[in-house]
Structure 1
Amino acid sequence: MSKPTPLSGFPEWLPPQRMIEQQLLARIARTFELYGFAPLETRAVEPLDQLLRKGETSKEVYVLRRLQDSGGDADLGLHFDLTVPFARFVLENAGRLQFPFRRYQIQKVWRGERPQEGRYREFLQADIDIVDRDTLPFHYDAEMPLVVGDALRGLPIPPVTIMVNNRKVCEGFYRGLGLADPEPVLRAVDKLDKIGPGKVAALLTETAGATDAQAAACLELAAIAAPDASFADRVRALGVTDPLLDEGLDELVRVVDAAAAHSPGLVVADLKIARGLDYYTGTVYETVLAGYESSGSICSGGRYDNLASSGAERFPGVGISIGVSRLLGLLFGRSALTVSRAVPTCVLVALTDEDARPAAGRVAGALRSRGIATEVAPAAAKFGKQIRYAERRGIPFVWFPGADGAADSVKDIRSGEQVDADAAVWQPPAADLLPVVSAAVTAGS
């Protein structure tokens, strides 16, 4: 077989990186569960008409078809996020769910965009959503950033800032300016960080029919940001009035005030946040990692009142998604995370000869039964060689069988300390039981 060519945009972590990923996922899931979110997994494919009706472009969706069937299942595509399939799941199972329904979902999604650092075609997301029947109380919008803040604060990563806005603020302001169709304005403003205010102003005049004065006012609104409710006064000072604008400002103040009481500094009101998908109707969130701001958002979401609806039934929701692969890709790219050892194994049981393998297996079994990850040496060799094997693997302890009726012993190969031990009761230090993930220490830190 010739050497395979790597596929860009489909990350495959090395085992130490995968252990880091698994530990981070476990901590995230635990935080979600502490807030009462139940786990869910949905299918990987959805009908294309469902995938494409809420703002995603066809060029970003992967179509599912069989190799030997040119027609195949071309009406199916791989999901590009977890919100659309979740909305479909709610509609199909509404009679069996208790509302408000709180779920978390950690699953891969696929998106056909240009791969770059931290941005992939296949990636893992960790989502939480709350949906209710008919109406969803607004206090859930304020809860979302608190959950994510707690989840991310429990990880060995730089601090995060969650930027919040409300589409009602934007839409009400645009209507108050005389721009009747807010969608092209939102799409243009959403590109501010990518193309800058000059090009956004040109885009507003070209695609949204804005005058130069209207475009300037839209940019003035987008420039407002504050860690407290003072943003509302700055918006009102712009002199634009509209009932929807007032409603959005009141809601956004509630989100910012709730976050300030729970986690000061976690949330900032940033009125340039728009979110590109059309299904958001109110609060929207984006999150940046300290030191990685230029890489964009690692966590986003918002309120959607009409995504899950069928006939007269409506299931409004609010959700937020952590881009796990995106976050890890950025951190791995700077070697910013480390794990205390490259394998789960805590103990290597040494072999005197191959005849001793059954006895070594019994020792390993006794240790494993108490939650201590153990493997038996791959081959009988001089103990020095077996110790070097453990060192190369990062295994901290080597277990030696007792000779001529003597007790077994275990050696910490880092310190050289060796003590008699019984596999039925011996316990490693708590810090060595499992690999420990931590932020990498860099020179000067």
Structure 2
Amino acid sequence: MPISGFPEWLPPQRMIEQFVLDKIRSTFELYGFAPLETRAVEPVETLLSKGETSKEIYLLRRLQEESATSDDQLGLHFDLTVPFARFVVENNGKLQFPFRRYQIQKVWRGERPQEGRYREFLQADIDVVNRDTLPFHFDTEMPLVIGDVFRSLPIPQAIIQVNNRKVCEGFYRGLGLPDTAQVLRTVDKLDKIGPDKVAAALVETAGATDAQAAACLKLAEISASDGSFVDRVRALGVTDPLLDEGLSELLQVVETAAEHAPGLVVAELKIARGLDYYTGTVYETQLRGYERFGSVCSGGRYETLASVGNTRFPGVGISIGVSRLLGILFGQNALTVSRSVPTCVVVAVPSEDKRSGCDRIATALRRRGIPTEVAPTAAKFGKQIQFADRRGIPYVWFPGSPDTVKDIRSGEQVEASAADWTPPAADLQPVVSAG
């Protein structure tokens, strides 16, 4: 029976998933990111130190194991950034910096499942880390990579919302609210609980006055696809050096994206991101028409996630929630694939004693890169054509003197040789398209 939050796609959906993963992988590699895979488990203390709540971490232990002490408990990783930071620390002597890597792996979170939100899901991450300092231009590159990924897929337009925690923290500090982390966490709930409850929570948990809470909400209302957000923040009358730094950085991200990919990036000053390790730029991505489902791709800059002694390894990264993205699109029937199997050609079997000859034809086609299967039984040819048709397979091959191949969609049948016949490029592999 199904287990809630652990998706299992049917083969056509899995083919769509693999198509999407191939596009993601090839785009990441076009930008020079190298592949990496880290272990699925980390010490629980490592996971807990990075801002995740203990109730969302799955523990790993043997069925008969005595209760483990907290020192040696292992948990399944809840994202790919924390294990990546640990990997960098352990292998920094073997890596060339700045180190650009991508990871495409499953992660696990014990949260309440709902549409597009799972307990086991696939993520695709890119990060750049450096020793001691990381130039800011890497922050401006991240949205461009993701923009290229999403433009290569038959999905609705992606809008990447960007903010900078320095803008928020500097603004809160300039207002006279010292517990900036608490204010950030509270404002991050704006879409979930609304402005009135956020204002009340700021007064209750962050020690804000009504006027300070109102100013925090004013900042969160600012949104712009160009540099106009800077003047709108200035108009709120708050000053702080950290605020100035954040505005300058955020402006660079927005202006770089506007030059290379107009319409891709929007400055959205309510974006905060829930994880504690982000220190500067933060990203969230929504699909046009699917905004109600929230972000399908997010990340940001972190300065202190990884360190060895006095050496820090600052980084910036962004993660595509592949299962989340696909789950939402599958739920709306927004993606289709042209056939339910990879097969392009079925070789018909005239009689069982001629099966070995049919196998030789299939082998010759496969050697030339044409996905081929042999019909399962020597039924009447009408039934063998039906077998192909039900699976969306476009061609049936009839052995004979000479051999012929039939496009069962158009009914056209032509003489063919397994040594040189090639289907049109559009038919060779299943085609993924918008539903």
> TM-score, length-normalised on structure 2?
0.99
What does residue 393 of structure 2 align with? 395
What does residue 15 of structure 2 align with? 19
1:66 Cα deviation after fit: 0.7
What does residue 414 of structure 2 align with? 419
- Give per-residue Cα distances to partners, 1:228-262, cap 9 Å, x unaligned: 11101110110100000000000000000000000
Of 35, 46, 49, 1:50 maps to 46
What does residue 79 of structure 2 align with? 81
1:70 Cα deviation after fit: 3.4
Contact 1:162 1:285 in 2 (8 A): yes
What does residue 299 of structure 2 align with? 301
Of 286, 290, 293, 1:288 maps to 286
Contact 1:400 1:408 in 2 (8 A): yes
Q: Tell me the matched-pair count.
A: 433
Residue type matched to 1:181 in 2? D
Q: Identity over the aligned pairs, expressed in percent?
A: 77
Of 333, 336, 361, 2:334 maps to 336
Residue type matched to 2:203 in 1? T
What does residue 381 of structure 2 align with? 383
1:72 Cα deviation after fit: 4.8
Of 185, 202, 214, 2:200 maps to 202
- Give per-residue Cα distances to partners, 1:289-322, cap 9 Å, x unaligned: 0111011000000000000112111100000000
- Give per-residue Cα distances to partners, 1:272-304, cap 9 Å, x unaligned: 000000000000000000111011000000000
What does residue 430 of structure 2 align with? 435
Residue type matched to 2:216 in 1? C
Contact 1:66 1:72 in 2 (8 A): no
1:135 Cα deviation after fit: 0.4
User: Alignment partner of 1:269: what SS?
Assistant: strand
Within the alignment, does 1:268 sit opposite 2:263 as a pair? no
What does residue 405 of structure 2 align with? 410
Give me the whole-angstrom Cα distance separating, in 1, the residues matched to 2:364 and 2:216.
68
Residue type matched to 1:149 in 2? G
- Give per-residue Cα distances to partners, 1:4-24, cap 9 Å, x unaligned: x31110000000000000001
What does residue 155 of structure 1 align with? 153
User: Alignment partner of 1:104: what SS?
Assistant: strand
What does residue 64 of structure 2 align with? 68
Give me the whole-angstrom Cα distance separating, in 2, the residues matched to 1:37 and 1:72.
38
Within the alignment, does 1:114 sit opposite 2:109 as a pair? no
Give me the whole-angstrom Cα distance separating, in 2, the residues matched to 1:178 and 1:79.
37
1:133 Cα deviation after fit: 0.5
What does residue 36 of structure 1 align with? 32
After superposition, the CA RMSD in angstroms is 0.8
Residue type matched to 1:271 in 2? L
Give me the whole-angstrom Cα distance separating, in 1, the residues matched to 2:369 and 2:33.
28
What does residue 215 of structure 1 align with? 213
Residue type matched to 1:431 in 2? A
Give me the whole-angstrom Cα distance separating, in 2, the residues matched to 1:311 and 1:186.
29
> Which structure 2 residue ranges, 5 or more long, are not aligned?
none
What does residue 10 of structure 1 align with? 6
Moved more, 355-364 or 338-347: 355-364
Residue type matched to 2:173 in 1? R
Q: How does 1:362-377 map to 2 (within 5 A)?
A: 362-377=360-375
What does residue 443 of structure 1 align with? none
Of 110, 122, 125, 1:124 maps to 122
Residue type matched to 2:44 in 1? L
> TM-score, length-normalised on structure 1?
0.96
Residue type matched to 1:196 in 2? G
Residue type matched to 1:336 in 2? A
User: Alignment partner of 2:22: what SS?
Assistant: helix
Alpha-carbon spacing, 1:428–1:72, altered in 2? closer, same or farther (3 Å) = farther
